[in-house]
Chains A and B, each alone.
Chain A
Amino acid sequence: MLSDFDRGEMPRALQRLLAASSSDRATLPRRSFLKLASGSGLALGAFPHLATAQTNGVTQPTAALKPTQQPSAFVQIAPNGEVTVTINRLEFGQGVQTGLPMILAEELDADWTQVRSRNGSNDPAYIDPLFGIHLTGGSHSIKNSFMQYRELGARARAMLLAAAAQRWNVDVATLRTQAGTVLGPNGRKLSYGELAEAAMALPVPEKVTLKNPKDFRIIGRATTRLDARAKSSGRQDFGIDVRLPGQLTAVVAHPPVFGARLTSVDDAAARAIKGVKTVLRVPLDRGAEGVAVVADGYWPAKQGREALKLQWDTASVEKVDSQRLLVQYRELANQSGPRKFDADMAPLANAPHQLEAEFVFPYLAHAPMEPLNCTVQLSDGRAELWLGTQCPGLDGVAAARVLGLKPEQVTMHVQTAGGGFGRRFVGSSDYVVEACEVAKAARAAGLNAPVRTLWSREDDIKGGYYRPMHLHRARIGFDERGDVLAWDHVIVGQSITSGTVFGEFQVKNGIDGTATEGMRDPYPIPMRLTVHHPKVNVPVLWWRSVGSTHTAYVMETLLDDIARATKQDPVAYRMRLFADKQPRHRAALKLAVDKSGYGKKQLPTGRAWGVAVHESFDSVVAYVVEASVREGRPVLHRVTAGVHCNLAVNPRSVEAQVQGAAVMGLSMCLPGSAITLKDGAVEQSNFGDFTVARITDMPAFDVHIVPSAEPPTGMGEPGLPALAPAFANAIARLTGKPLRQLPFNLA
């Protein structure tokens, strides 16, 4: 998400938002780090630079360093040498919990076997150093924090070296470090654990020298995740596992149609259920109302919800019907609208080859495996929240607003999350606001207990915030060589960011950049791109790889159509279009082609090759796939990926992210993977009628990474976009009919 925008503008817009609601977040006392450190039992070896300076009366010039640059907030070294690195992001599967510590440990010259990881909070130290707020998204974590974590590690190392130089009374230039140890003249050595306490009394250096990438020994090495053991034994705690003394659980009845309010509530039967503590009417997202059943556990709360007799006023809200909506989108596509690109379309009329195509993409649910939840504890003038969120900054401000507190009175305990894919990054903070409303109402009703609001899977599938439905229409004129003379394109779909804080910098000239990212570029195509953003009563949101979930499909299948129409090999055709201007695309595609055996290997009868390549979030992923049609159903047999993400910090993690994102891309193709609405209500409810890929859908899958020493680009999302078009291109080669609808429909 958040890829196609003016990078100078986003930090300003987000910071304005925070400034408007916050008093003095940036000047929170640095002592908060001391507390952090002692909370973990590692205080002894921490680097509480400023606090130490204050208590010792030592003056040192670190004022120029921002909170995000202070090692004390990020790295703690225990006397036994254990190094704990705090991550400034949400860990929700993408592996930053391991990748960020690898980066810091590299420059610290730590012993990797001694490195641990811990989650941050909404302390100012953990803002994204580029965007200026707390967020995890847009595949930005490694990219934006690569230099930050290197410098943090280098600063901490310099302090350890300085401490050793003092201890031995030698010139620091005579010292070096090796895997958690400072080595001195005459074979002297001290472990980081032994030096940590002395190091913390020293000034934090502003300028540090970083390693030459050719000397990296941790970065670039395939590394097992730090949480692999915990996550393979049920010992990893997620937001849903938070258990506070006396904690209650709330389940909320949401309206059947988005935004509807209640006309009557009969909660007598619900209140009679054993374990139910209270039933509360609460305001919900989009002006709706709901009823929260608060109980001593999920089961009685859910039983209570089922016993409610509720009547809703759905007359005053728009009741969407997906079929009707498609008809409206088709009409809208015929009208003029704002243009993202505006090439001359005159050559279209006389082009020797013409192609017309319409694509339909449905709403999609994120469906992370951990259902949405948020635990809220209120006390006088304070609130504490435990939740897995991609944007604790925004959510904290929203919580404060609902609770009548200042943002600094709200503590966000960021919990490891069971997936998210964009669903935990909502401009309206919907599920966080809901949990706060419930906790507030519960407290007002006399329940002084922490309340966990927990969504059922049905709440998740029906509860909104979907990848928007889209209609694409294209008219393309091209010559015998496949050179495009004119490409007239229309996109119809709801804007994801309009009306949210993100709209301020994402929407330009009435066009939301998240709807058009991935269109045209990097191909040399004269394109006219018209965009319509209808307002529809369905909450929409970014979904892993955002605009590229549909634009890559459209671009990469249409290019294959042109290659087929002009009898060209789809790889050679793309390579010719890339010419010498797109070395990363070329390298990724060539790697996938070479490793797959494309053009050399004989495929079994009934199988065909499919190819696609797409750049998103500054990384390029190319797929070469083998697919067939079995009993009328497309089957994906084998995938070979070529990846260009510059320097791969943890190649094992890059492989996992590519495979995982591709599986999500594969899910989009499977029958039953659409969210549809009838009479304003979502028709699907659970994994029985909302299909996601299972192990039986999984192809054989190899990932190959183009070697590079350039600063890394993100990999959380870029594995997704090219999978579905590569699969579709293979099927089109078998059937001769392009697939222009997701999920696939061969009828």
Chain B
Amino acid sequence: MTRLNVNGRDHTVDADPGTPILWALRDTLGMTGTKFGCGAALCGACTVHLDGQAVRSCITPISAAEGKKVNTIEATTDGRDRVGTAVHAAWVKHDVAQCGYCQSGQIMSATAFIKSLPRGKLPSAAQIDSAMAGNICRCGTYARIRAAVADAAKALA
């Protein structure tokens, strides 16, 4: 039994402690907003926040999350998280998504990145690219991702 705190709620997960957070979320807790893309930390589709840090949930075992706080796309964009809310709004405004499958991970990476910025500091184009380089979008929505991240950072500055 592994205790997981997801989006502020405690859960007990009856699974092998080596089970990645991704599959505990999706298959055990039924939270499917976090996506499976590669299973090897190569595409970023599964990005969640572990104590505020963006991590790839497909390779992070639930044992590593015990005593920590897991935050997922569901809570990041439901209005409670100031930065996540701004990122969500920018994503809609710029009509970023095409198939949309990778966008949970993109938004989680963008949110962690903006939270990491010194208050009032706007990111450079190169910083945005570097922060988002771990997230693949096969539909190629990168131009709008750039615009949305910059816009969200500006709205929060």
Contacts and interface: CB of A to CB of B under 8 A. Distances in A.
B99 A418 contact: yes
A369 B138 CA distance: 6
20 contacts: A93-B100, A225-B95, A228-B96, A230-B100, A233-B88, A234-B33, A236-B97, A297-B23, A298-B23, A299-B16, A299-B23, A369-B45, A369-B137, A421-B138, A457-B42, A686-B39, A694-B142, A695-B129, A695-B145, A698-B142
Contact of A229 (B27, B37, B92, B130): B92
Given A418-B99, A659-B140, A661-B140, A241 B32 contact: yes
A696 B134 CA distance: 10
A652 B27 contact: no
A93 B99 contact: yes
A418 B32 CA distance: 13
A705 interface: no
B98 A367 contact: no
Contact of A419 (B26, B88, B95, B99): B99
Contacts of A231: 97, 100, 103
Contacts of B78: 233
Interface of B: 15-16, 19-20, 23, 26-28, 30, 32-40, 42-43, 45, 72-74, 77-78, 88, 91-92, 95-104, 107, 128-130, 132-133, 135-146
Given A371-B36, A663-B140, A234 B104 contact: yes
Contacts of A694: 133, 135-136, 142
B140 A687 contact: no
Interface string A230-244: 111111111011010
Given A228-B95, A687-B136, A663 B100 contact: no
Most buried by A among B39, B129, B143: B143
Contacts of B88: 232-233
B98 A94 contact: yes
B136 A419 contact: no
Interface of A: 92-95, 224-225, 227-238, 240-241, 243, 249, 274-275, 296-300, 302-303, 367-371, 416-421, 456-458, 652, 656-657, 659-664, 666, 686-688, 692-696, 698, 700-701
Nearest to A456: B39
B93 to A, nearest CB: 8
A687 B38 contact: yes
Contact of A656 (B95, B129, B133): B95
A743 to B, nearest CB: 17
Contacts of A458: 39
B99 A457 contact: no
Nearest to B95: A224
Given A232-B107, A234-B33, A687-B136, A299 B77 contact: no
What are the 3 closest A-B residue pairs judged by CB atoms, nearest first? A234-B33, A663-B140, A418-B101
Given A228-B91, A418-B35, 4 more contacts: A233-B33, A370-B101, A419-B99, A688-B40
For chain A, what secondary structure do more than half of its interface residues adopt (helix, strand, loop), or is it mixed? loop
Contacts of B40: 457, 686-688
A238 B101 contact: yes
B3 to A, nearest CB: 18
Contacts, number: 185
Nearest to B99: A93
Contacts of A695: 128-129, 132-133, 135, 137, 142, 145-146
Nearest to B32: A241
A694 B42 CA distance: 11
Contacts of B138: 367-369, 419, 421, 664, 692
Contacts of A664: 138, 140
A369 B35 contact: yes
B37 A224 contact: no
Max chain B Cβ within 10 angstroms of own Cβ: one of A241, A656, A695: A695
Contacts of A666: 140
A93 B137 CA distance: 11
B144 to A, nearest CB: 7
Contact of A660 (B19, B28, B74, B98): B98
Nearest to B88: A232
B27 A660 contact: no
A69 B73 CA distance: 40
B115 to A, nearest CB: 18
Would you call the interface of chain B mostly helix, strand, loop, or mixed? loop
Contacts of B26: 298
Given A297-B27, A298-B27, A418-B35, A698 B92 contact: no
Contacts of B140: 659-664, 666, 693, 698
A93 to B, nearest CB: 3
Contacts of A95: 98
A323 B38 CA distance: 28
Contacts of A370: 35, 37, 99, 101
Given A231-B103, A369-B102, A695-B133, A237 B32 contact: yes
Contacts of B103: 231-232
A657 B95 CA distance: 12
Contact of B33 (A235, A299, A369, A698): A235
A456 to B, nearest CB: 6
Contact of A234 (B38, B77, B98): B77
Contacts of A298: 23, 26-27, 36
Nearest to A694: B133
Nearest to B34: A234
B23 to A, nearest CB: 4
B42 A687 contact: yes
Contacts of B139: 93, 369, 419, 660, 663
Nearest to A370: B101
B43 A369 contact: yes
Contact of A368 (B36, B99, B135): B99
A144 B119 CA distance: 51
Contacts of A235: 33, 74
A688 B42 CA distance: 6
B32 A687 contact: no
Which residue among A94, A238, A274, A299 has the maximum number of chain B CB atoms within 10 Å of its CB? A299
B104 to A, nearest CB: 4
A303 B132 CA distance: 31
Nearest to A371: B36
A232 B128 CA distance: 18
A229 B107 CA distance: 12
Contacts of A421: 138
A217 B47 CA distance: 40
A237 B128 CA distance: 28
A225 B16 CA distance: 40
Residue with the highest number of chain B CB atoms closer than 10 Å, among A92, A232, A457, A657 = A232
Nearest to B103: A231
Contacts of A456: 39
A700 B38 CA distance: 28
Nearest to B145: A695
Given A93-B139, A369-B43, A698-B146, A232 B96 contact: yes
A298 B20 CA distance: 10
Contacts of B128: 695
B149 to A, nearest CB: 9
Nearest to B97: A231
A300 B28 CA distance: 12
Nearest to A366: B138
B154 to A, nearest CB: 18
